[in-house]
Amino acid sequence: MKIPKLKKIESVKKYHGISIEDDYAWVDQPDILEVLKDPDKLSKDVIKYIEENNSLTEDYFKDVKNLQKKLFNEIKSKIKLDDTSLKFKDKKYYYWSKTETKGNYGKNIRQLIDGSKPEEIYFDGDLEKKKCGSKYFGLGGISVSNCDRYMAYSLDLKGSEYYTIYLRDLDLNKNEKDIIENTSGSITWSLDSKSFFYSKLDKFHRPRQIYKHQIGTQINTDELIFEEKDETFTVGISLSSDEKFFIISTSDHITTEEYFFPANASSIKPVLFQKREKDVRYSVDSWKEYFYIQTNKDARDYKILRCKINDINKLEEFIPSKKETVIGGLEFLDNFIIRSEKSDAILKLFVRNIKNNQEEEIKISNEAIGCPGISLMQKDRNTSKIRVGWESMATPSKVYEYDILTREKKLVKEREIPSGHDPDKYIIERIKAKSHDGRMVPISLVRLKNSKLDGKSKIVLYSYGAYKNDILPSFSASRFCLVDRGITYAIAHVRGGGELGDIWHQEGKKKLKKNTFLDYIACANHLIDKKYTYKGGVCFLGGSAGGLTGGSVANMAPELFFSMLLLVPFVDTMTTMLNEKLPLTPAEWELWGNPIKSKEYFEYILSYSPYNNLHKTNYPAMFVSSSIFDNRVLYSEPVKYIAKLRDVKNDNNIQLLKCKIEAAGHGGMSGRDNAITELAEEYSFILKTAKILD
């Protein structure tokens, strides 16, 4: 196979007296935000290189096309294509959704509670996509007005996350002339259903303004109700649980500031709840004459405070902080408060009786490791019934109707695997690996019960490790395409994520970012030591910021892997953090550090940025994906990465780049079949490089 070559243009840039040589710096186009809107502005040389790489990738997969078809059918056979969600009882209507065998997108349905009229499909994803005539169909949100007559919805038809809001009169089944472009996609209705709120994107693709749009009026007359001046902060708006207040939240990754105003106010004057304080995050909700505040001030893993609505400065502790326990948010019923807490990466649910202030845990399953959840059944909070759910890495989700008073639970929905699934065939384990500094890193895994720990098996070790995101030990039917072929599937809960609370996140960011990579390597080595696999038997799987983890460990310990999947990977960290005009960069300095202002951060990022640290060694086989419409991780990062990797590597392994030129977003192409096709291709790469081809 002829390996594509990208032209080189000598480039040397100096920062803090340090020179960076980058022969592919020309790939970073200064008008990148224009390219996201119009791909014709992309460099012809880059397009040619991408097309050549896509052809190379297509050639590589020619001998496993039958396997891909088999995997596609396997994955699809594990999905109940014609599925219906549980109904939510609103004021006048039941609302629910469903998917169908032939369609790729869902349908939103409602029916009058009294049953006097037949059910109606008020939003049909497949029909709407057909009307748009676009290949990509990204749905930002669907929101029905409180009077049930109007529906506002937002669409992104390229994948670059510029959402356009449309308005439809459901009684007439006709779209209005109200069309709002360049929004974040979120829609929040006013209580009188005469207007709604939305966030406008600025020239750098950041939502920093909230507008109120009055139905039937010109967009240029929309009222600006809030504007954030700090370019590192972004804004959003929501309605409180008791629908008495709208809450405006403005935040970066570590600091929050919130405002509120009465939901029935004719003149909007947002009131500051608590002035922003660096590294303090809080959120406000209201219920029964109280504001409830979840905050990390003097409580790294949060506590709950409350105050009377008319006296916001007099705060009292409602739920105290606990050592090494993350205190979650609250869900309100008239007589009960439901909340979550998490310790040792295990989530638990609790319910509190408001009348006697007693609290107890809601036990859903006897499995030790899994994912519990709760949801409300109806708009009216005067009830003792909720829905509780459970799933694990081996057990498909089950949803129960749960009565808080009697503790009775009734199974109302169970995820069906049409091709069959027996949880008893598998073992779920939670083990821990000792990292370089003594920290114990959790690993969640699922494998065949009859698999032997003889150090001969392959393992897929997934990881993310950023943004305080929890990677939950949840169920994924498609994973069993690998597990049933003898591959263990594991998750390394590395630092940088939030599985073990705020300190776990803090120890994996800024000047401690390398802990993320060292944790992953420790997890891989522990799995090797315990005979789950062997050196060279690991496949790395991760995307976006998880791709940064993969790119870094590839430089640090390439001998551990037989292959790696770096999906839309954040691998040119330094270049991105030096470009303050990119959509996400200013806000992300709180995670990685600001290399523009700080020489210390510049040197630290430079020491681990995957692109800058590629060197002459043997790298494993790789599959790297991207999209020219992705505004979160620009196409230039994987393009430059794969070009430089091929320049410096010593091995003869295949390293592939697949960059989508057709409309696609950070999460890939839209539509169920497209998602399955992409997954089948990724799995075929794992299996081909693992030499498992049946």
- pLDDT, tens only, 2-50: 899 999 999 999 999 999 999 999 999 887 878 777 888 889 999 999 9
Q: Is the torsion defined by CA of 566, 570, 573, 578 positive or negative?
A: positive
Half-sphere exposure of 452 (CA within 13 A, CB side): 3
What pLDDT digit, counting tens, does each position of 579-592 carry? 988 888 888 998 99
Contacts 24+ apart (CB under 8 A), 273-276: 273/312, 274/312, 276/250
> pLDDT at position 668, please?
65
CATH of the domain at 667: 3.40.50.1820
Q: What is the mean pLDDT of residues 217-243?
A: 96
Cβ neighbours of residue 390 under 8 Å, at least 6 residues apart? 364, 365, 367, 370, 371, 372, 373, 397, 398
> pLDDT at position 158, please?
84
Strand partners, 347: 342
How many whole angstroms separate alpha carbon 5 and alpha carbon 627? Answer: 19
**Same-domain check for residues 433 and 552:** yes
Domain that includes residue 344, residue range: 336-415
Tokens linked to 683: 């799995």
Distance (Å) of CA 367 to CA 328, 408, 491, 618: 21, 19, 18, 42
DSSP state of 608: H
Please answer whether residues 458 and 537 qualify as being in contact, where contact means their C-beta atoms are separated by less than 8 angstroms: yes
> pLDDT at position 662, please?
76
195 belongs to a structural domain: no
> pLDDT at position 664, please?
64
Cβ neighbours of residue 282 under 8 Å, at least 6 residues apart? 256, 258, 274, 293, 294, 295, 296, 297
Burial 646-662 (b: 16+ CB within 10 A, else e): beebeeebbbbbbbbee
> pLDDT at position 225, please?
97
What pLDDT digit, counting tens, does each position of 137-196 carry? 999 999 999 999 999 999 999 888 899 999 999 999 999 999 999 999 999 999 999 999
pLDDT at 669 over 80: no
pLDDT at 77 over 70: yes
Largest Cα–Cα separation, the chain: 76
> pLDDT at position 34, please?
80
Closest CA to 143 of 62, 237, 10: 237
3 belongs to a structural domain: no
Residue positions counted in the chain: 694
> pLDDT at position 474, please?
95
**Same-domain check for residues 397 and 370:** yes
Please answer whether residues 500 and 345 qualify as being in contact, where contact means their C-beta atoms are separated by less than 8 angstroms: yes
81: how many CB neighbours lie within 10 A of its CB? 13
**Same-domain check for residues 386 and 449:** no
The least confident of 462-476, 540-554, 573-587 is: 573-587
Give the type of residue at 518. L
What pLDDT digit, counting tens, does each position of 445-457 carry? 999 999 999 999 9
Closest CA to 327 of 307, 352, 308: 352
**Same-domain check for residues 403 and 463:** no
> pLDDT at position 31, please?
79
Please answer whether residues 472 and 340 qualify as being in contact, where contact means their C-beta atoms are separated by less than 8 angstroms: no
> pLDDT at position 307, please?
97
> pLDDT at position 316, please?
97
What's the gap between Cα 435 and its chain centre? 26
**Same-domain check for residues 443 and 346:** no
pTM for the model: 0.92
How many whole angstroms separate alpha carbon 507 and alpha carbon 215? Answer: 48
Closest CA to 404 of 420, 381, 428, 421: 381
What pLDDT digit, counting tens, does each position of 503-524 carry? 999 999 999 999 999 999 999 9
> pLDDT at position 589, please?
92
What's the gap between Cα 412 and its chain centre? 28
Tally of domains within the chain: 2
**Same-domain check for residues 351 and 455:** no
**Same-domain check for residues 424 and 408:** no
How many whole angstroms separate alpha carbon 414 and alpha carbon 407? Answer: 20
H helix or E strand, kind and range, residue 55: helix 44-60
Residue 556 confidence class, pLDDT cut points 50, 70, 90: very high
Mean pLDDT (the chain) is 94
Decide: residue 42, CB within 10 A, 0-12 exposed, 13-18 middle, 19+ buried.
Answer: buried
How many whole angstroms separate alpha carbon 333 and alpha carbon 356? Answer: 15
pLDDT at 651 over 90: yes
352 belongs to a structural domain: yes
Closest CA to 650 of 622, 689, 620, 612: 620
47 belongs to a structural domain: no
Please answer whether residues 690 and 682 qualify as being in contact, where contact means their C-beta atoms are separated by less than 8 angstroms: no
Please say which residue of 415, 434, 450 terminates a domain: 415
What pLDDT digit, counting tens, does each position of 422-440 carry? 999 999 999 999 999 999 9
56 belongs to a structural domain: no
Residues of the chain with pLDDT > 70, as a percent, come to: 99
> pLDDT at position 665, please?
62
Please say which residue of 415, 441, 461 terminates a domain: 415
225 belongs to a structural domain: no
Tell how strand 409-414 and strand 223-227 pair up: unpaired
How many whole angstroms separate alpha carbon 455 and alpha carbon 536? Answer: 11
Q: Is the torsion defined by CA of 628, 630, 631, 636 positive or negative?
A: negative
Q: What is the dihedral of CA 586, 587, 593, 594, to 10 degrees?
A: 10
**Same-domain check for residues 388 and 526:** no
Give the SS3 label for residue 79.
coil
Tokens linked to 635: 């196409």
Tokens linked to 504: 């776990």
598 belongs to a structural domain: no
Please answer whether residues 167 and 189 qualify as being in contact, where contact means their C-beta atoms are separated by less than 8 angstroms: no
> pLDDT at position 253, please?
87
598: how many CB neighbours lie within 10 A of its CB? 14
432: how many CB neighbours lie within 10 A of its CB? 16
H helix or E strand, kind and range, residue 18: strand 18-21
Q: What is the mean pLDDT of residues 363-371?
A: 91
**Same-domain check for residues 405 and 426:** no
H helix or E strand, kind and range, residue 433: strand 426-434
> pLDDT at position 213, please?
97
**Same-domain check for residues 452 and 466:** yes
CA end-to-end span of the chain: 24
Tokens linked to 59: 């050639």
**Same-domain check for residues 527 and 411:** no
How many whole angstroms separate alpha carbon 128 and alpha carbon 143? Answer: 16
How many whole angstroms separate alpha carbon 615 and alpha carbon 631? Answer: 28
> pLDDT at position 667, please?
67
State residue 633 phi and psi, 5-degree precision: -125, 110
Closest CA to 137 of 163, 117, 115, 167: 163
Please say which residue of 389, 415, 441 terminates a domain: 415
Give the type of residue at 405. L
Q: What is the mean pLDDT of residues 98-106?
A: 93
59 belongs to a structural domain: no
Give the SS3 label for residue 255.
coil
Please answer whether residues 672 and 104 qualify as being in contact, where contact means their C-beta atoms are separated by less than 8 angstroms: yes
> pLDDT at position 492, please?
98
Residue matched to tokens 């060197």: 615
Give the SS3 label for residue 491.
strand
Residue 391 confidence class, pLDDT cut points 50, 70, 90: very high
**Same-domain check for residues 398 and 516:** no
The number of helix segments (H) and strand segments (E) in the chain equals 13, 38
